[in-house]
Amino acid sequence: MNNISAETDSKQVLRKKYIRSIFLSIFTLGVIAAFIYYLYVNSDKYLNLLRLSPVSVILLLLLAFTSPFLNGAINAYMFRSLGANLSQREGFLLAAVSTLANQLPVSGGVVTKGVYLKHKYDISYAKYLSSMFALFFCTIAVYGLLGLTILLEWALFKNFTAPALLWIGFGGMASALIIFWLPLERLPIPDFLRKWVQQALEGWSLISKNPLLILKLLGIQTTMMTLLAIRYWLAFHMLSQNVTISQVLLFSSATILTNLVSFAPGGLGVREAIVGGIALSLGFDPGISVVAVGLDRLVSTVMILAVGWASTVILGREFSHGSSKSNEQDA
């Protein structure tokens, strides 16, 4: 009877995953179709604005290509602290594979890393997830502080008072660091949030013993955010929009929130909405802003598919070869 019940539950879980996958695929196709239709209807406008050049496209590709290297360095530093003997090369391959997995209808980058670390280095899922949550909350806080710094600089030296929503949004991001010191056991936190926060606290206890590690990880994350800002600067200028570095830094620092609501492949539509909303509050045309982010996404997706596919093949072969050797030694 228990076997029948377990089999029924398993089928229900698979059915739900299948339905969710279909829903997300339809949603993704709908977003892409709407975007293409918008471009078609406004084609004259964007053809007049577009200032494409081979140099700009190559620069976007090169900047996008730096992401797996920087993510690879984060993987290496982070997972070495958890006991995995991960090389920089392996960290790069794992970053490229997980980024490719995030483009699937059901984003699987976090799962891909977790399964790989569990099977190759015996890193428990709980330890892995908790450390990732800790880094995520730290990064949100740092990006929030950067956003507040930019808004303050505008208010003090440029006589521009940003909308209150921006102050509230970046202030909320900066306050994420407070969770590591609050007496959470006494606070009325919803169960679904309590689990996330508890995992972040467990991860914090693992990495907080090494302040140098935290500085390295946050330094790399900030470098990635800065490079993303430069990509946005290029994309906006390709559409004849004179954005400043501080403005695109504000855009890129807010896009980390995509990870909180990344229910679509690669956060499709979410990142565009975040940048479009901030751009609108700063007086930019939201439609042009969304197209600029879409232009950057198009170029970066080409790189993700190419590098991710090659890395999947290489890492898969190496993992299979290592497993075969291990089985031979056990025999």
- Which tens digit of pLDDT belongs to each residue from 258-290? 776 655 666 677 888 899 999 999 988 888 998
d(CA 9, CA 169): 41
Q: Quick check: 9 pLDDT over 50? A: no
d(CA 258, CA 272): 9
Q: Quick check: 321 pLDDT over 70? A: no
CB of 151 closer than 8 Å to CB of 132: no
Residue 26 maps to a domain: no
Q: Quick check: 181 pLDDT over 90? A: no
d(CA 60, CA 70): 16
- Surface-to-core class of residue 5, CB atoms within 10 Å of its CB (0-12 exposed, 13-18 middle, 19+ buried): exposed
Token look-up 């935290």 returns 214
Name the residue range of residue 126's domain: 50-324
Residue 320 maps to a domain: yes
Q: Quick check: 219 pLDDT over 90? A: yes
Residue 228 maps to a domain: yes
Residue 306 maps to a domain: yes
Q: Quick check: 138 pLDDT over 50? A: yes
d(CA 192, CA 217): 27
Tokens of 117: 């670390």
Provide the pLDDT for residue 176: 86
Q: Considering only residues 155 and 201, tell me which one the structure prediction assigns the higher pLDDT.
A: 155
Provide the pLDDT for residue 170: 94
Provide the pLDDT for residue 8: 53
Provide the pLDDT for residue 229: 95
Give me the number of domains the chain comprises: 1
Residue 264 maps to a domain: yes
Residue 15 maps to a domain: no
Q: Quick check: 23 pLDDT over 50? A: yes
pLDDT band, residue 38 (cuts 50/70/90): confident
Token look-up 């790069």 returns 92
Q: Quick check: 17 pLDDT over 60? A: no
Residue 222 maps to a domain: yes
Mean pLDDT within 233-252: 93
d(CA 191, CA 194): 5
pLDDT band, residue 76 (cuts 50/70/90): very high
CB of 291 closer than 8 Å to CB of 272: no
Look over the chain and give the mean of its residue pLDDT values, rounded to a whole number: 81
Provide the pLDDT for residue 253: 93
In 3D space, the residue among 28, 7, 60 whose CA is nearest the CA of residue 231 turns out to be 60
Q: What is the CA radius of gyration of the chain?
A: 22
Residue 262 maps to a domain: yes
CB of 207 closer than 8 Å to CB of 137: no
Mean pLDDT within 85-96: 92
Provide the pLDDT for residue 6: 46
Alpha-helical runs (H) found in the chain: 2-41, 43-49, 54-81, 88-101, 109-121, 125-157, 164-174, 191-207, 211-238, 245-254, 270-281, 286-330
Mean pLDDT within 307-329: 73
Q: What is the DSSP code string of 2-49? A: HHHHHHHHHHHHHHHHHHHHHHHHHHHHHHHHHHHHHHHHTHHHHHHH
Q: What is the DSSP code string of 145-168? A: HHHHHHHHHHHHHS-----HHHHH
